[in-house]
A = this chain, B = another copy of it.
Amino acid sequence: MKKFKGLAMLGYNNIGWIEKEVPEVGPNDALCRPLAISPCTSDVHTVWEGALGDRHNLILGHEASAEIVEVGSHVKDFKIGDKVIVPAITPDWQAVESQMGYSQHSGGMLNGWKFSNAKDGVFGEYFHVNEADGNLAHLPKEIDFCDAVMLSDMVPTGLHGANLAEVEYGDTVVVIGIGPVGLMAVAGCALRGAGRIFAVGSRKRCQEVSRFYGATDVINYKDGDIVKQILDATGNKYVDKVILAGGDVDTFNEAVKLVRRGGIVSNINYLGTGEFIKIPRVEWGLGMGHICVIGGLMPGGRKNMEYLSRLLVHGRLDVSPLLTHRFSKFEDAEQALVMMKDKSEDLIKPIVVL
């Protein structure tokens, strides 16, 4: 059996390189070789916070562009050598949840998330893709294969935040947290026609890039209560929508205090600790204020990749400002991952070209 190398979570707090057997390719599946990869804050949660529990020898990573090296007997639309966009979420498309529009949760809560969760991730010489026809998209020739890596998770997650928030023409929106996902949420709001966009974050680089993506106002939570800062700026008018791309269970308290009746609080942030999300009763209208609170994992799959890639092809969205650090050897994946953990002042995303 052929072997391959990958960067894995060996155990809690512990990463390293391991060798595994190349996985078998079922009739609907594909085997891929990454072209470029990028670590995600989720990988950091997995290894150093034990977000998924104590995993052993699990190859990390769910952001990659790739080339196909093998396809199953029933795969119709892809062949060996095709270059592809790979979504972080690769659902089971026959599942009842998928038929209901929640493919992310095909087979159970968050179960559309396979890479570096239910099976080995993309930080290997090879990786396996379930239901290739439904989960891969052809890489358009107009898109750089490094930019394409941002289509795996950053772009769809950020834009899903704006979709859940149902941003409309002229809406005033607050995006809390402006790491790469939050920045894509800002871009997503501008792309849905928001008017004023408040970006809440403290790192200089991220603040600057948030303006590039359409933020009109930058709020630093280190300067005091963000609710007060924002309501001061609006003349005490509530905002239409709040997107949470950072913070924790307590941040919902601030979000609800900012949003108008009929507004939406949309969460795309992984909530690692705390027993309860905190919705303030009075500002939630004593239960009657029509403030919708919702959160969700990005939708994966081919359709989403095809449509989002058109934003890059047609110049609506430029992801290059996200790629602040580049590496050119597979072995650098380890350093890139540590860098994502340490989050220097000038980091947004590191990328590793293979």
CB distance from A233 to the nearest CB of B (A): 13
Which partner residue on chain B sits nearest A265 by CB separation?
A: B293
A279 touches which of B279, B306, B308, B313 (Cβ 8 Å): B279
Provide the bound-state CA to CA distance between A201 and B135, in Å.
38
A276 touches which of B100, B168, B278 (Cβ 8 Å): B278
Q: Which of A49-74 contact B (CB under 8 A)?
A: 74
0/1 string, A320-350, CB within 8 A of B gives 1: 0000000000000000000000000000000
Q: Which of A270-317 contact B (CB under 8 A)?
A: 270-281, 284-297, 301-304, 306-311, 313-314, 316
Provide the bound-state CA to CA distance between A271 and B313, in Å.
35
Task: From A134, A169, A280, A296, name the one whose CB has the most chain B CB atoms within 10 angstroms.
Answer: A169
CB distance from A23 to the nearest CB of B (A): 16
The answer, yes or no, to whether A83 is at the interface (CB within 8 Å) is: no
Provide the bound-state CA to CA distance between A292 and B290, in Å.
12
A96 touches which of B171, B270, B278, B306 (Cβ 8 Å): B306
Residues of B within 8 A of A286 (CB): 110, 270-272
- B288:A270 contact, CB within 8 angstroms: yes
The answer, yes or no, to whether A319 is at the interface (CB within 8 Å) is: no
The answer, yes or no, to whether A41 is at the interface (CB within 8 Å) is: no
The answer, yes or no, to whether A170 is at the interface (CB within 8 Å) is: yes
Provide the bound-state CA to CA distance between A74 and B292, in Å.
34
- B297:A285 contact, CB within 8 angstroms: yes
The answer, yes or no, to whether A192 is at the interface (CB within 8 Å) is: yes
The answer, yes or no, to whether A131 is at the interface (CB within 8 Å) is: yes
Contacts A290-B104, A295-B289, A316-B190 given: A271-B281 contact, CB under 8 Å?
yes
Which partner residue on chain B sits nearest A256 by CB separation?
A: B277
Contacts A192-B193, A193-B192, A277-B279 given: A289-B109 contact, CB under 8 Å?
yes
The answer, yes or no, to whether A213 is at the interface (CB within 8 Å) is: no
Which partner residue on chain B sits nearest A294 by CB separation?
A: B292
- B195:A307 contact, CB within 8 angstroms: yes
The answer, yes or no, to whether A210 is at the interface (CB within 8 Å) is: no
Provide the bound-state CA to CA distance between A194 and B310, in Å.
8
Chain A residues bordering chain B, tally (CB within 8 A): 88
0/1 string, A13-52, CB within 8 A of B gives 1: 0000000000000111000000000000000000000000
CB distance from A200 to the nearest CB of B (A): 17
The answer, yes or no, to whether A95 is at the interface (CB within 8 Å) is: yes
- B99:A285 contact, CB within 8 angstroms: no
Provide the bound-state CA to CA distance between A28 and B29, in Å.
13
Residues of B within 8 A of A261 (CB): 97, 102, 104-105, 109
The answer, yes or no, to whether A94 is at the interface (CB within 8 Å) is: yes
A290 touches which of B27, B273, B277, B295 (Cβ 8 Å): B295
Q: Which of A185-216 contact B (CB under 8 A)?
A: 188, 190-197, 216
**Residue positions of A touching B, CB distance < 8 A:** 26-28, 74, 93-105, 109-110, 131, 133-135, 159, 163, 168-172, 188, 190-197, 216, 244, 249, 252-253, 261-262, 267-281, 284-297, 301-304, 306-311, 313-314, 316
